[in-house]
Homo-oligomer: A and B are copies of this chain.
Amino acid sequence: MFDWHLASGYRFAGIVSKLRKEPDRRDLAVIVSDAPAAAAGVYTQNRVCAAPVQLSRGRTPGVVRAIVICSGNANACTGERGLRDAERMAELVAIELNCPPEQVLVASTGVIGRPLPMPILEEGIPLAVRAAKSGPEALCDAAHAILTTDTRIKVCTRKVGTATVTGFAKGAAMIGPNMATMLGFIMTDAPLAPALAQAILKKATDDTFNCISVEGHTSTNDTVFLLANGTQPALGESDAKPFFEAVHGVCAELAREIARDAEGARHLVTIDVEGCRTDAEARTIAKAIAESALVKTAIAGGDPNWGRVVSAAGYSGVAFEERELSLWMGETKLYESGAPLGFDAAAASKYLNDNREVTFRLVLTHGPGRCRFLTCDLTEEYVRLNADYTT
């Protein structure tokens, strides 16, 4: 586990600050860059967004020294006080690092509508910054400290030429306490201008973190950051594409891990939509299928219910005729040019029951537009997890 090769020039900590009630549960993380790093951010589209999102949005693209993250409290729907608290979190880091507070980004995840317990953070943040170390063990601590209902940490690292791209993330649906969130932190030791970092991150998240769904409830706190501290030499012209692919690959792997770890899920479901006029239309269709409770319960039940998939495409808002649709589940063609095919229902059901990862592929006849969307099934366990939490 600890033979990861990490992006250089970063230190990490994940400490037990007692923001959470559970003793010994890490709940406060920092990422410190030894050198000022170009910083990019992509954020939730929700109109109701948390104070740390509002704060960080104003600081990216830009140059930063650190990120501070707390879990257990989202600092969302907390008004003016929430903004002041998020600013203070950044300031506490800046004091330790002797840098301007504007060079610190903030993220939070957890219960919403409750003010942050600032005395705990006043004490914990300086300790966390001082505890920050390089190396996989420290990264692991940070990756643990950002979790909410996740069952495991999500970490991925890739080397490209002299540079390395390292990321970690959390997310397991929006469940209790009140609301979880998707948070992702991508670090590279290549040098990038802030605007380029922003463009790369935006492009990399479009078909990764923005193409996963557990139940379609966009959180108030979703955030992905990319830091580039330039502690390794600049990459050559010919490395631009492999470098982007490394960032994209890290985002894709983390996104996939989030969908796999969705609460109560027994299946990781890939929805491939192809043959659309545009990628955007393909995404609209794939998202409608991925978010259909009927599709997701059918998969949980091992039912190869192609009718639910086709009809979810039908209400997505994209214009098509039935005869322009064909559908595969795994290698089995269920529906061709608008007509159902005879297929071995027992074998199809076995495919769903025997595989933890399943694929539906819907092909239209309009053009080259395509999208891959990841989701999970909807189980009784999901409902139990989400219903039984009490505010």
**A→B interface (CB under 8 Å):** 44-49, 76-79, 111-114, 174-175, 178-179, 215-220, 292-294, 297-298, 300-308, 310-315, 318-323, 325, 335, 338-340, 345, 349, 378-380, 382-384, 386-391
Contact indicator B311/A48 (Cβ below 8 Å): yes
Contact indicator B47/A319 (Cβ below 8 Å): yes
Which residue among A47, A49, A315, A320 has the maximum number of chain B CB atoms within 10 Å of its CB?
A: A47
A305 partner, pick from B178, B307, B320, B321, beta carbons under 8 A: B178
Contact indicator B391/A46 (Cβ below 8 Å): no
Nearest chain B residue, comparing its CB with the CB of A74? B307
A46 partner, pick from B111, B300, B306, B315, beta carbons under 8 A: B315
16 CB contacts below 8 A, A to B, read: A46-B311, A47-B315, A47-B318, A48-B313, A79-B338, A174-B308, A179-B308, A217-B308, A217-B315, A220-B311, A293-B386, A298-B386, A301-B390, A378-B383, A379-B383, A379-B387
Q: How far is the CA of A298 from the CA of B380 in the complex (A)?
A: 14
Shortest CB distance A210–B (Å) = 13
Q: How far is the CA of A386 from the CA of B307 in the complex (A)?
A: 13
Shortest CB distance A84–B (Å) = 14
Residues of B near A340 (CB, < 8 A) are: 77-78, 113-114
Contact indicator B217/A303 (Cβ below 8 Å): no
Nearest chain B residue, comparing its CB with the CB of A319? B47
Given contacts A302-B390, A314-B47, contact A292 B339 (CB under 8 A): no
Shortest CB distance A208–B (Å) = 19
Contact indicator A314/B46 (Cβ below 8 Å): yes
Q: How far is the CA of A293 from the CA of B291 in the complex (A)?
A: 10
Which residue among A77, A311, A320, A340 has the maximum number of chain B CB atoms within 10 Å of its CB?
A: A311
Contact indicator A293/B380 (Cβ below 8 Å): no
Shortest CB distance A340–B (Å) = 4
Residues of B near A321 (CB, < 8 A) are: 47
Contact indicator B79/A339 (Cβ below 8 Å): yes
Q: How far is the CA of A174 from the CA of B292 in the complex (A)?
A: 11
The oligomer's copy count stands at 2
Contact indicator A303/B391 (Cβ below 8 Å): yes
Q: How far is the CA of A149 from the CA of B66 in the complex (A)?
A: 56
Contact indicator A216/B293 (Cβ below 8 Å): yes
Given contacts A178-B307, A308-B178, contact A386 B315 (CB under 8 A): no
Given contacts A47-B319, A301-B389, A387-B379, contact A77 B310 (CB under 8 A): yes
Q: How far is the CA of A79 from the CA of B3 in the complex (A)?
A: 57
Nearest chain B residue, comparing its CB with the CB of A46? B314
A77-B310, A303-B389 given. 9 additional CB < 8 A pairs? A48-B313, A49-B314, A77-B307, A78-B340, A175-B294, A179-B311, A217-B311, A217-B312, A305-B391
Residues of B near A219 (CB, < 8 A) are: 311
Given contacts A294-B174, A387-B300, contact A307 B179 (CB under 8 A): yes
Q: How far is the CA of A169 from the CA of B47 in the complex (A)?
A: 38
A380 partner, pick from B44, B307, B384, beta carbons under 8 A: B384
Q: How far is the CA of A78 from the CA of B340 in the complex (A)?
A: 7
Q: How far is the CA of A12 from the CA of B241 in the complex (A)?
A: 70
Shortest CB distance A225–B (Å) = 21
Q: How far is the CA of A319 from the CA of B46 in the complex (A)?
A: 10
Residues of B near A48 (CB, < 8 A) are: 310-311, 313-314, 322, 325
